[in-house]
Amino acid sequence: MKAKIVHESSARLRVKLARPLSVREADLMQAWLSRESGAESVTVHERTGCVIFTFSPGGRDGCLAALGRFSFAAAETSVTLPGQSLRGINRAFAEKLVRKVLMKAAGTLFLPIPLRRARAAVHMLPFLRRGLSCIWRRRMKVELLDAISIGVSAFRGDFGTAGSVMFLLELGELLEEWTHKKSVAGLAESLSLNVDRVWRRGECGDELVPTAQIRPGDRVVIRAGGMVPVDGVVFSGEASGNQASLTGESIPVAKRPGGVVYAGTVVEEGECVVEVKQGLGESRYDRIVEMIERSEKLKSSTEARAASLADRLVPWTLAGSLLSLALTRNVQRAVSVLMVDFSCALKLAMPLAVLSAMGEAGRAHIPVKGGKFLGAVAEADTIVFDKTGTLTHACPRVARIDTFCGKGEEDMLRLAACLEEHFPHSMANAVVEEARRRGLTHEEYHSRVEYIVAHGVASTVSGIWALPEGKTERVLIGSAHFIFEDENCVVPEDERERFDALPAEYSQLHLAIDGRLAAVISISDPLRGEAREVLAALRQLGIKEAVMLTGDSPRTAEAAAKQLGVDTLRAGVLPSDKAEFVARRREEGRRVIMVGDGINDSPALSEADCGIAISDGAAIAREIADVTIAADSLWELVRLRRIAMALMARIQANYRFVIGFNAALIALGAAGILPPATSALLHNLSTLGVSLHSMSRLTEKD
């Protein structure tokens, strides 16, 4: 694509395109360049046709090369955009806001008084209708106070006050809707499938292809731990699917040939071939925005308390107005009290604060699935970590391969990679990457692959060795517990001494063929460099206990725990053990955060007050978790805790200000110091001010 550099510095590059872009074109370009350029951030401005790259030293050439390769046709086939565009939402609401302000200004400046009054009279009809609806339903809500205050002002001939009140109320509603839709769209985007490639079954076998290339009629293979990319019907195989995000069902649902599967659900057990019935962008998952808006997960306990308090205060405001009228016989004073209510600010500012906090977390690449989870993070006193892929480095490497029974090292690595590539996990990724680094290609020699949670992979193979025609061998890869205790495999007696001498500092995958150990793949899984400092920072922010749970051997786990400085260690645990540990802590009255990345962490993530998944972990972990953090740094946990604590502090400050300021307005109005117009103006301006403040950043930019 042709472009011109208009400004650059050592870490930033601004490029001008030949023409402005549409919203969709800008979204496509930004998504594609973010993935392909290697830049730290890419921002595309559609109106001006500018692209801004922020990059680390040496990244300039990569950004320019990616921009030169870009084409909209290629992006359409490789990029999957979310159902709603944040860019489009922002543009639409910005135009609405400008239009509303201009219309108000034009009416005030240019319309004669009779027309302004007529316009206000027509404008107030929806407010009066909502107030009458409250009376009809026998509900005391803020809409009733709004209707009475607007109606009384108009009845007294004060159409200026009535118009100002209506304008401020509508402006507040517009800003609330804007922030709400932005937060929901951002949340839906963070919950988007993020399935870049899928296994498509064809005449020549299974082929790994970009998700964007999937079309209706294609058949895709979904294995245990994998996410369904599109809606479809099970063509063959059997599996159990987790549909909680779409249907709310708490238990897995069995899927057999002819059964319908939905995009965004996760296969917990089994394997199936799905025939695609709808293309990308047409699936049921694209309606998740509507479900999020209805979901109670968006409502934090703080929001619920604010709404409840607001409703309880409405009758008191109305009673105060009537009492003022009875004592003073002054309609103006009574109306001044009526113009002020607590519920407007409470109901508006609190949800805005929560949604804005979720948006801020989302911009920091920490998507949160609901406001109540921010409250749980703020109140937590215990944090529980899985070890592998969470506290350890996100990209472990194969350190050594020891073979047995005369097997060849490259053959064993090729076979291990062939099996492990179907079930992404940090250790599995290390095996696949080592095979790729050595240039070892492999074919699908195995039959159906079975994943045994927290243990390993089982399959049968043929064609790798000179086996008699029709003969197959059972292959297992996984933990020592799985290989030797569950499957009763054995180590050749003449190689027992060499096996016992294997270094214990590495995490190990054991590969067995037909019941005999064939190889041990030792994986260097170094601790994250920032992990110890992150734990110290979390303690300063109020976390009292840091726990590490791992399936590793006690000796390996103890060495890691000593380096990290965790308070509690449990080694050799199974998924059920992790979940039971979290449940016990909660029964003791603790508020628990669980951080993990694998299929085996899913039960504990579900059990915790707030489950946090690593972004490059298993799909089912991300599905079950309440929060997702990026894989490159644990500092995002500290950032999340700070945002959550700042949110709680802001909400408490909002409570104090709203109640104090509005109580003062009521007192001044009842005393006759403030006229109704001034009371209404100050009340609505304070509500708008609190709301705008609630939408501001909670923490400083890093």
What is d(CA 231, CA 218) in angstroms, rounded to the nearest whole number? 11
The answer to whether the beta carbons of residues 378 and 540 sit under 8 Å apart is no
Strand 450-452 relative to strand 397-403: parallel, antiparallel, unpaired? unpaired
Higher confidence at residue 320 or residue 11? 11
Phi, psi of 395 (to 5 degrees): -130, 75
Among 205-209, 242-246, 515-519, the range with the most confident prediction by mean pLDDT is: 515-519
**CATH number of this structure's domain 369-392+527-629:** 3.40.50.1000
C-alpha angle 594/695/651, rounded to 5°? 60
For β-strands 232-242 and 253-255, DSSP reports them as: antiparallel
Q: What is the pLDDT of residues 230-246, one digit of tens each?
A: 788 999 888 887 775 55
Q: Nearest to residue 218, comparing CAs of 196, 202, 234?
A: 202
Mean pLDDT (whole number) for 248-252:
57
Judge whether 244 and 259 are in contact, CB under 8 Å.
no
Mean pLDDT of the chain: 79
Of 503, 502, 523, whose CA–CA distance to 393 is shortest? 523
CB atoms under 10 Å from CB of 628, counted, come to 25
- What CA–CA distance (Å, rounded) separates 648 from 639? 14
Q: Token pair of 349, please? A: 């500012």
Confidence of residue 313 (pLDDT cuts 50, 70, 90): low
Q: Are 499 and 602 in contact (CB under 8 A)?
A: no
Helix, strand, coil tally for the chain in percent (to 5): 50, 20, 30
Range in 18-27, 29-38, 465-474, 549-558 the model is least confident about: 465-474
pTM given for the model: 0.64
Residue where the block lists tokens 């619920």: 304
What confidence tier does 296 reach under pLDDT thresholds 50, 70, 90? Answer: very low
pLDDT, residue 284, reads 47
How many C-beta atoms lie closer than 10 Å to residue 318's C-beta?
Answer: 17
Residue pair 626/369 in contact (Cβ under 8 Å)? The answer is yes
CATH architecture of residue range(s) 397-524:
3-Layer(aba) Sandwich (3.40)
Least Cα distance to 346 among 699, 4, 657 occurs for: 657
Q: How far is CA 643 from CA 86, 104, 630, in A?
A: 22, 37, 16
What value does the mean pLDDT take over residues 305-329?
66
294 — pLDDT class (breaks 50, 70, 90): very low
Residue pair 481/508 in contact by the 8 Å Cβ criterion: no
Query: Per-residue pLDDT tens for 556-583?
Result: 788 788 888 899 998 878 777 888 999 9
SS3 242: strand
Provide the residue ranges of all domains of the chain, joining segments of one domain with +. 3-79, 197-292, 369-392+527-629, 397-524
What are 52-104's pLDDT values in tens digits? 999 888 888 888 888 988 988 888 777 767 666 778 888 888 888 888 889 88
Instruction: Look at residues 506, 101, 181 and name the one whose alpha carbon lies nearest to residue 356.
Output: 181
Asked if residue 394 has pLDDT above 60, the reply is no
Q: How far apart are CA 68 and CA 65, in angstroms?
A: 5
**What value, to the nearest 5°, has the Cα angle with vertex 442 and ends 438 and 448?**
135
- Residue 537: predicted pLDDT: 94
Fold of 3-79: Alpha-Beta Plaits (3.30.70)
* Assigned fold of 197-292: 2.70.150
Question: What is the per-residue pLDDT across 623-670, written as a single tens digit (0 to 9) for each?
Answer: 677 888 877 788 999 999 999 999 988 888 888 887 788 778 777 766
Burial 34-67 (b: 16+ CB within 10 A, else e): bebbbbeebebbbeebbbebebeeebbebbbebb
Instruction: Determine the 3-state secondary structure of 202 from DSSP.
Output: strand
Highest mean pLDDT among 16-25, 310-319, 523-532: 16-25
Residue type, 272: C
| CA separation for the pair 44, 63 (Å, rounded) | 13
pLDDT for the residue numbered 239: 84
* Span 429-478, pLDDT tens digits: 888 889 888 888 766 555 566 766 556 788 877 655 544 555 678 889 98
Q: Environment class of residue 678 by beta-carbon count within 10 Å: exposed (0-12), middle (13-18) or buried (19+)?
A: middle
